[in-house]
Amino acid sequence: MSDAIERAGSRRIVRPPSRRELLAAICVLAAGIWLLGLLRFRDWIATGDHAIFQLRLERMADGHVPLDGAFSRFGAHHPGPAREWLVGTLYWLSGGRTAALPATAIVVNWSFLAAAVVAAWRTGGRTLALAAAAGGSLLVWGLAADLHSTWNPYLPVVAGHAAVWGVVGVATDTRRWVLPVVAGSVLAQVHATGFVAGIVTIGAALVYVVLDARRRGRSQRALIACGVTILLWSGPLVDLVNGGGWNLADLASSASEEPRVGLGRAADHVAQKVMPWSIWQGETRNPSAPPEPPPTAPVAVLLVVLVLLAWLAWLAGRSRTPGLRTLAVVAIAACTIATISFSLLRGFEHMYLFAPVVGTLVAPFETVIAAGLERVPTAVAHLPEGLVLTLVIVSPLVASFRGWTEYESIQSSPFDRGLRGAVVPEVRAGASYTIVAYDMVGVSAEGDVALYVQQSGGRPRSVQPNLDLPSPRPSDDVFVVAMGEALRCLAEDTGARELIVAESSDVGLPVGVFLVAGDPTGALPLRCG
């Protein structure tokens, strides 16, 4: 009876199309989604960190190609420029439309989602494909509007999910090295929290490829894989050669006065975030939320999860589904790596800092789903092929509907709506302007001002490290962004011309922008900073 079921399941497995056909279909679909995204998000505006990111893209067009990631709260840049290079290409193609940011994020995330499901299907047929579709659906539902966010804690989330399936795929067939190398590079470069997981993903893929090449005595595939990896990491490597320093060392040593989270507290966080309901609810989405109190005996919960996964890995030794045991082992590794990554963080434990590796923490849920489907082989084998295809395609699309329909709530602010109109008329093409910020809490409007100066033909300068701009010159006019006491002082300063004062929806407090004439004698004329 079991042999008959195996033969039936084998006959009914739908083989994916060829790589060329699959790539062509994905490119056509991605192009259509991107064009629809430009239309859907045509009224979207970039503020705060989004504006700073768009500023980096604008400066890329002027030849300022970043070799590392955005400046981080850790006092150094994130590991690599994958986000800038990836989004920047389509941003230029759109003609510099702001809508290209969310539209490209949607395309990138859906592409990684599709790649994960295809990798699962190629590895273990419909059983793993259904598990990958279920896990991907859970993940993108929790992301909601952040599915179209290019903010660096959220953009690598779905890439982390793809990295898991990339490792499972390359462990079965070393020809499938592209996905783990690409997804791992995005995960490692875009945000520091994902660095360890991404590097382990890339390392595992290359080890499989190199060992296979040595066994077969043919090194071409290994050389190509290593070459592509070097190309994807060329930014940090060039920065190192040019004397820019090894940014990863700066990240590792930054904020040294603050204590690390530590393994115990990190295990608490992983125990919470590995649960399906935590991923479903998107607990890491609030950028300002402090960590919730840990559940009762959280470390014990994590140990139970790891023991369950180890048991499933042992059972999978007799599995009819290729890759199921590897998936269980990768799930254990994902929990372990997430714990290590969290333990290395310093300072306050903002929830968004844990977001980059949440995509990898879906692996335990997918392992349980796949193991459950393995227990009912007759039902899985006799599912109509059309129904299986519909489930693996439609379920992630339906789950991601929130990410397509919901906007980030950044357009309701009177300050955000009026800022561009206040700044742009003051900018003279070719002139340099210094951007400074005082008493800013919870708002980074200096990035918005710098972006509008750049887009209007001006040349923004600043000492603000998060803006990555050239140093100011004393003779330049100065845009001053202020809150609190500095705002009140500037309002009374006859040398500061008020451009806009309005409430910011981010903090519910007034924010002002003033223009101060530069002083050619070299004394910056600010008395309120």
Backbone angles phi, psi at 104, to 5 degrees: -70, -40
> CB 314: neighbour CB atoms within 10 A?
11
Mean pLDDT of 304-313: 84
> CB 70: neighbour CB atoms within 10 A?
20
The two tokens of residue 350 are: 């903002």
Residue 376's Cβ-count burial label (10 Å; 0-12, 13-18, 19+) is exposed
The two tokens of residue 62 are: 């002027």
Mean pLDDT of 201-210: 96
Which carries the bigger pLDDT value, residue 519 or residue 396? Answer: 396
Question: Can you tell me the distance from the alpha carbon of 222 to that of 208, in angstroms, rounded to the nearest whole number?
Answer: 9
Backbone angles phi, psi at 435, to 5 degrees: -115, 125
Residue with tokens 């056909």: 21
Q: Which of 167, 142, 168, 166 is nearest to 154 (CA)?
A: 142
Mean pLDDT of 465-488: 89
Residue 249's Cβ-count burial label (10 Å; 0-12, 13-18, 19+) is exposed
Question: Can you tell me the distance from the alpha carbon of 135 to that of 94, in angstroms, rounded to the nearest whole number?
Answer: 32
Question: Can you tell me the distance from the alpha carbon of 200 to that of 343, in angstroms, rounded to the nearest whole number?
Answer: 17
Where do the structural domains in the chain lie, given as residue ranges?
A: 2-9+21-405, 414-516
Question: Can you tell me the distance from the alpha carbon of 464 to that of 225, in angstroms, rounded to the nearest whole number?
Answer: 39
Local confidence band at 257 (pLDDT 50, 70, 90 cut-offs)? low
C-alpha torsion angle, residues 175, 138, 406, 188 (rounded to 10): -40
pTM of the model: 0.88
Q: Residue 228 in contact with residue 181, Cβ under 8 Å?
A: yes
Does the structure show a pLDDT above 70 at 255? Answer: no
Does the structure show a pLDDT above 90 at 207? Answer: yes
Q: Identify each DSSP E strand in 132-177 by its residue range.
A: none
Degrees to nearest 5, angle at CA 127 with 197 and 22:
75
3-state DSSP percent of the chain in helix, strand and coil, to 5: 65, 5, 30
Looking at residue 457, what is its pLDDT?
A: 93
Q: Residue 447 in contact with residue 45, Cβ under 8 Å?
A: no
The dihedral built from the CA positions of residue 181, 337, 150 and 167, taken in this order, carries a sign that is positive
Looking at residue 524, what is its pLDDT?
A: 44
Question: Can you tell me the distance from the alpha carbon of 129 to that of 116, in angstroms, rounded to the nearest whole number?
Answer: 9
Strand 459-461's sheet: what is its strand order? 459-461, 432-438, 477-482, 509-516, 496-504
Express each pLDDT in 222-245 by its tens digit: 999 999 999 999 998 888 877 655
Q: Residue 185 in contact with residue 232, Cβ under 8 Å?
A: yes
Residue with tokens 């206040």: 422
Which carries the bigger pLDDT value, residue 361 or residue 414? Answer: 361
SS3 77: strand
Backbone angles phi, psi at 41, to 5 degrees: -105, 25
The two tokens of residue 57 are: 């893209």
Mean pLDDT of 8-21: 57
Local confidence band at 379 (pLDDT 50, 70, 90 cut-offs)? low
Mean pLDDT of 116-123: 92
Q: Which residues contact 218 (CB under 8 A, 6 or more apart)?
A: none
Does the structure show a pLDDT above 80 at 103? Answer: yes
